[in-house]
Each structure stands twice: as structure tokens, then as C-alpha cells.
Amino acid sequence: MKIFENFNYQIGVDLGTVNTLVYLKGSGIIVSEPTIIAINNKTGQIVAVGAEAKRMLDRSPQHITVVRPIQGGVVSDFEMTGEIMKHHLEKLKNGFFSRCGLAVLAVPSNMTEVERKSAEDVLLSAGVSKVYLVEIPIAAALGANLPINEPTANMIINIGGGTTEMAIISVGGSVTSRSLKVAGDKMNEDIIKYIKDEFHLAIGEPTAEEIKIRIGSAITVDEKLEMTIRGRDLSSGLPKEVMVKNSHVRLAITKSLKTIADAARGLIEECPPELVGDILEKGIYLSGGGSLLRGIERHIEKETTVKTNLIAEPQTCVIRGLGDIVEDFDKYERMLASQARPREVTL
């Protein structure tokens, strides 16, 4: 009934492998938390969600399990993902009748119908009435203020935690796109393996992430970057401390960086000739947290021979794009309808 519409709020959701962001219409980004949840195995109760749960990663006792329920951009644990969304949506309620009437959800471009349904059902089960899906590159391009509705090429690469999404967009849709399971998490795995092989030291994911952020780079840098790390000596089983340099990190992630650059080059090769000319003129745009790796834009530019631009505040680019849709839904409704049929719950 129309009388109840004023009690419904509308949101954009970037349910990422690493972080969950929620945009509330009229208020902006109101949730930015790690996509992690901690569960007490004995009681089944939720111990922590988000940043508090992340602090427990690789540091929790046996009776507490820390879960990352999104893997490679896909829901791998439906129940835990639902609990995370319920936790965040509960914060938005400001009255008895208040519920989420509409949500716009960003998803990888190569999801199967089963994976799309699972992502939609997470939000529907959390109390959302209707769910629209938007491919991540489309949302990122909107967040970057690219003219995606014009008949000109807009090439964007979003390097997230679980996936790297890239697409060439024109007239409101993807002309060609690719989705890779190579992104921030894969680089962390590369660093863990390299440290194990090179220094015979076992480290956890949080340490690998810190190494990547503090001293990682995609190209040779002039400044001296190094840091001391601590872990378990694989020979003695005792604590050990080693010094890691920027060159070590670059060597560790070389293969992953090459995979991303090769995919970008392949995407351009698949593109119609007229649009290739547009790409050469306008360049490639980078978004996502992974694009903050030092020099990655110069690395991709060298490999593709196309000017590559880093978007301002790349970590929030996708959720800003979803926010644009939520704030002016009528403007984008036709574009949304062409991507996927919305799922809804009848009350």
C-alpha cells in the first residue's frame, strides 16, 4: 500500500569479499565494515561482526570460528552472510514499520544464475522487499562519473579483494567484460607462499595484508621500503623475526599482476575497433582497494600501452555508483531492468 512507502528506506549494497559497504538514500555511506563474522561453536551465538571480528582473525580460541562468508565475490556461506546483512540492516531501523523497501546490489559480471539467486536471497532473507542487481564495473563507472550512457567506450578495471572485474561500457551496458579470481586476496596468498618458501617462516593473512599495504608495489620504486615481520619458524617451530623488502613483495605478486594485465589486454583485443579508438583517447580507469597498490596504474599502462588513470577514493567507487542509482532510481531503472530481472518478496 502507498501509505506505507514512507516507512521504507532504500539502500545500495556492495557485499564484497573483504568489505561490506551500505549506502542509505539521503544519508550516504552509513556502513563500511569487513565482511567477517565470529561465531561461538558451543552456543551458536554471534560473537562479533565486522571490524571486531576481523581483529579475531587467526587469533581466536578453538570454540570461536571466524568466518569470511564471501569467497571470490560469491556467497559461500549463505547463513553467515545473511547474519551479517541482518546485523547491518538492524542499525537502519528507526521505527516499528521501518524496513528496506528496495536494495541495489553490486555483483561480479560472470555470476551464474544460481550464484545470482543466492546473492539476492541473502538480502531478501535479511528483510529487503525488492532486490536489483548491478554488475560491479557498471557501478564503478557510475561512481567514477564516467559517461556510460553515451555511445563511447569507457574501460574500467575494479580490483577488489576476491575478484578483479573489468569491462568496456557503452550506451549503459557492458560491450565486453571479464571477471578474474585474481585480486587482493590472491596477492596475500602469494606473499604467504613466498615468505614460506624464501624465509621458511609461517605468517597469517593479516600479516600478509599489512606487508602488501606498507611496502608492496607493482613496479620498482625509488624509495627504500622494508619492514620487520614475525611468524613461526618452520624448522624449529619457534618464533622468528625477518626483514622483508619491497623487492621480495614485488617478486611474490608478479604472476598475479601479469594475469590482470593480460586480461586487460585481452579485453581490448575483443573490443570493436571504433571503441578501441575511444579507449586510446580516454584511457583505462582503475578502481577498488587493490588499485591502491603502488604503481599498479603504471604497470597496466606499460602492458596495454593505454594511459591508465586511478580514480579518486577508489575503495568507495562501487558504493558511490550504487548511491547514484538509489538517489535517482527512476533515471536508472531501465538500465537495471536490462541487466537482470529484480527479485522481490510480496508482503
pLDDT in tens, 111-160: 889 999 999 999 999 888 899 999 999 999 999 999 998 999 999 999 99
3-state secondary structure of 200: coil
Q: Which amino acid is at 183?
A: A
For 78, which DSSP code?
Answer: H
For 345, which DSSP code?
Answer: -
Cα separation, 180 vs 162, whole angstroms: 9
Length of the chain: 347
Which backbone phi and psi does 83 adopt, to 5 degrees? -65, -40
- Of 196, 227, 251, the one marking the end of a domain is 251
- Of 235, 251, 267, the one marking the end of a domain is 251
3-state secondary structure of 107: strand
Say if CB 153 and CB 170 are below 8 A apart.
yes
- Residue 96: pLDDT band with limits 50, 70, 90: very low
Report yes or no on 7 lying in a domain. Answer: yes
**Residues 109 and 74 placed together within one structural domain of the fold:** yes
**Residues 124 and 74 placed together within one structural domain of the fold:** yes
* Distance from chain centroid for Cα 269: 25
**Residues 27 and 174 placed together within one structural domain of the fold:** no
**Residues 104 and 220 placed together within one structural domain of the fold:** no
Q: What is the pLDDT of residue 210?
A: 96
**Residues 163 and 117 placed together within one structural domain of the fold:** no
Position 57 pLDDT exceeds 70: yes
**Residues 162 and 128 placed together within one structural domain of the fold:** no
Domain membership of residue 240 as a residue range? 184-251
Cβ count near 29 (within 10 Å): 16
Cβ count near 62 (within 10 Å): 7
**Residues 86 and 197 placed together within one structural domain of the fold:** no
**Residues 14 and 88 placed together within one structural domain of the fold:** yes
**Residues 63 and 43 placed together within one structural domain of the fold:** yes
Cα separation, 160 vs 280, whole angstroms: 24
Report yes or no on 345 lying in a domain. Answer: no
- Residue 90: pLDDT band with limits 50, 70, 90: confident
**Residues 49 and 132 placed together within one structural domain of the fold:** yes
Cα separation, 285 vs 305, whole angstroms: 14
Question: Could you give the number of structural domains in the chain?
Answer: 3
Cα separation, 157 vs 308, whole angstroms: 10
At 246, which CATH number?
Answer: 3.90.640.10
For the chain, report the end-to-end CA distance as a whole number of angstroms.
10
